[in-house]
Copies of this chain bind each other. A is one copy, B any other.
Amino acid sequence: MKQTHTPPTMKDVAAEAGVSLGTVSKVVNGLPVGEPYRQKVLRAIDKLNYQVNSYAQGLKASRTNTIALLIPNTRNPFFAELVHHINRQLLKRKYRMLLCTTESDTDLEQTYITMVQQNKVDGIIGLTYNPNLVIDASVPFVSIDRVLSPSLPCVACDNFAGGQLAAEKLADLGCKHVAFLRIGSALNNEPNKRKSGFENGCANRNLHYDMMILNDGEPLTRFRTFLEEHRTAEGFTLDGIFCVTDYIAYCVLRFLDELGVDVPGEVQVIGFDGTRAFGSENYICSTIVQPVEEIAATCVDLILQEDIAAKPSLICLPVRFADGGTTRPET
């Protein structure tokens, strides 16, 4: 009699099908097997409800079926969505996701790096702002939003096009004098391209713009000061604001509210990311939406792709504008 509580193994399947272990293995892995054999094995697998033990598999193949996702945190809604979609994609492909939230916790970063060194993950998808991250070349790595080295593929939305779209949108919505608010970064981040895209867009539409750049670490209240300076007796002297991030847009909106400036009446605001309001499908502000789902899918495709040489160094995915109530309705 068969033990009821042990999951069936390949051996059981082989016995049931009347074939050898190797044959079952081949069928399971999609290797060529004579049709009658394949049928017998498939029937047996079905009958026993067999599923491979990925730990035995991992042991043998020194593959772990695990991809590490290195991300600052899950609190930021954009990151949370990214986690969600990457997780889905990996699950679909029978991979596990090792979630590493790194926020300024060097211990955790070390834990993660140790695991990688010890060959416990098959690849890493990383969205990291840590500039001195040491990446072992033997582990496949896909970066999000930041080109770390020419040899490591990077997936990002089309930040240049996004910046341009924001500028053109503001112009099309009737703005004459806009501002770009951003946080400077010495790093070679992809999001930095939003700036040149924006400048390009303004040039295309003959739009006059100011730019306010905060250094890393400077308090966001500087933006408040900046905005305050634009409030004159004749009204608010800006009629459009592009914020490099929805988060900044969110803060700016609060500042504007405090200053009594009407949005989108007096000034229209566009953010970047496509952050949705708490618990709803609505965007928290008019925004350039990153294609989170495609970014996730692309990362997973890349990390699981065998042929490393064939990986392009930068993949840009298209963005789109979405109305979130902080711009006037389109005509």
| C-alpha spacing A7/B7, complex, angstroms | 30
The contact string, 1 if C-beta is below 8 Å from chain B, for chain A 53-70, is 111101100001010000
User: Closest 5 A-B residue pairs measured CB to CB?
Assistant: A55-B58, A74-B80, A51-B118, A247-B279, A55-B59
Contact in complex: B64, A55 (CB < 8 Å): yes
Contact in complex: B75, A99 (CB < 8 Å): no
Contact in complex: A91, B64 (CB < 8 Å): no
| C-alpha spacing A119/B4, complex, angstroms | 13
DSSP class of A's interface residues: helix, strand, loop or mixed?
A: mixed
Contact in complex: B75, A276 (CB < 8 Å): yes
| C-alpha spacing A281/B80, complex, angstroms | 17
Most buried by B among A73, A99, A275, A276: A99
Number of interface residues of A (CB under 8 A): 44
Contact of A53 among B59, B80, B81 (CB under 8 A): B59
Contact in complex: A75, B84 (CB < 8 Å): yes
Contact in complex: B75, A75 (CB < 8 Å): no
| Given A55-B59, A75-B80, A250-B279, 5 other A-B residues pairs in contact with their CB atoms under 8 A | A55-B58, A83-B99, A97-B98, A97-B99, A250-B278
Contacts of A59 in B (CB 8 A): 53, 55-56, 59
Contacts of A77 in B (CB 8 A): 75, 77, 278
Contact in complex: B66, A75 (CB < 8 Å): no
Residues of A within 8 A of B (CB): 5, 7, 51, 53-56, 58-59, 64, 66, 73-77, 80-81, 83-84, 87-88, 91, 96-101, 108, 111, 114, 118-120, 138, 247, 250-251, 275-276, 278-279, 284
Contacts of A278 in B (CB 8 A): 76-77, 247, 250, 275, 278, 284
Contact in complex: B75, A87 (CB < 8 Å): no
Query: Chain B's nearest CB lies how many Å from the CB of A269?
Result: 15
Can you sample 13 A-B contacts with CB below 8 Å? A5-B138, A51-B118, A74-B80, A74-B84, A75-B77, A75-B80, A76-B279, A77-B77, A84-B101, A96-B98, A250-B279, A251-B279, A278-B278
Contacts of A75 in B (CB 8 A): 77, 80-81, 84, 276, 279
Contact of A51 among B64, B87, B114 (CB under 8 A): B114
Contacts of A275 in B (CB 8 A): 278
